Amino acid sequence: MATVSRTATSGGLWSRLQGWLGGTGEDKVVIPVRGGASAWLPQSTTQSRVHRFDQTLLWVIIGLLVFGTVMVYSATVALSDGPRFESRSSFYFLIKHAISIGVGAVALGFMLLIPVKLWEKAAPWIFMLSIVGLILVLFIGRDINGAKRWVSLGVMNFQPSELAKFAVVLYASNYMVRKMEVKERFFRAVTPMVVAIALMGGLILAEPDMGAFLVIAIISMGILFLGGVNGRMFFLMAAVLVLAFVLMIALSDWRRERIFAYLDPWSAQNVFGKSYQLTHALMALGRGMLFGVGLGSSMEKLNWLPEPHTDFLVAVIGEELGFIGVVAMIIAFFWLTRRMIYIGRQAIALDRVFAGLVAQGVALWMGFQAFINIGVNLGALPTKGLTLPLISYGGSAILMNLIAIGMVLRIDMENRAMMRGESK
Give the pLDDT confidence of 154-172 residue by residue, as tens digits.
Answer: 767 788 999 999 999 999 9
pLDDT at 226: 84
HSE, side-chain direction, 13 A CA sphere, residue 148: 13
pLDDT at 116: 94
More confident residue, 218 or 35: 218
pLDDT tens column, 284-301: 999 999 999 999 889 988
Range with the largest mean pLDDT of 13-22, 267-276, 277-286? 277-286
pLDDT at 180: 64
Q: Is the per-residue pLDDT at 14 higher than 70?
A: no
User: How does residue 183 score in pLDDT terms, banded at 50, 70 and 90?
Assistant: low
Q: What is the mean pLDDT of the chain?
A: 82
CB atoms within 10 A of CB 380: 10
Mean pLDDT, residues 389-418:
93
Cα dist. 289→283, 284, 296, 349, 379 in Å?
10, 9, 16, 45, 16
Q: Is the per-residue pLDDT at 15 higher than 50?
A: no
pTM (2 d.p.): 0.84
pLDDT at 21: 47
Mean pLDDT, residues 309-325:
94
User: How does residue 181 score in pLDDT terms, banded at 50, 70 and 90?
Assistant: low
Mean pLDDT, residues 111-138:
93
Q: How far is it, in rounded angstroms, from Cα 150 to Cα 159? A: 5
Mean pLDDT, residues 88-110:
92
Share of the chain above pLDDT 70, in %: 83
pLDDT at 8: 37
pLDDT at 235: 80
Share of the chain above pLDDT 90, in %: 45
pLDDT at 423: 61
Sign of CA dihedral 408, 410, 416, 422: negative
Range with the largest mean pLDDT of 191-195, 244-248, 395-399? 395-399
- Among 3-7, 250-254, 299-303, whose mean pLDDT is lowest? 3-7
Q: How far is it, in rounded angstroms, from Cα 75 to Cα 284? A: 12
Q: How far is it, in rounded angstroms, from Cα 99 to Cα 121? A: 31
Sign of CA dihedral 289, 294, 299, 300: positive
More confident residue, 377 or 258: 377
Sequence-ordered list of residues with C-beta below 8 angstroms from that of 254, at least 6 positions apart, any chain: none
Mean pLDDT, residues 61-79:
93
Of 61, 88, 40, the closest CA to residue 336 belongs to 61
Q: Is the per-residue pLDDT at 189 higher than 90?
A: no
pLDDT at 184: 57
Phi, psi of 50 (to 5 degrees): -70, -30
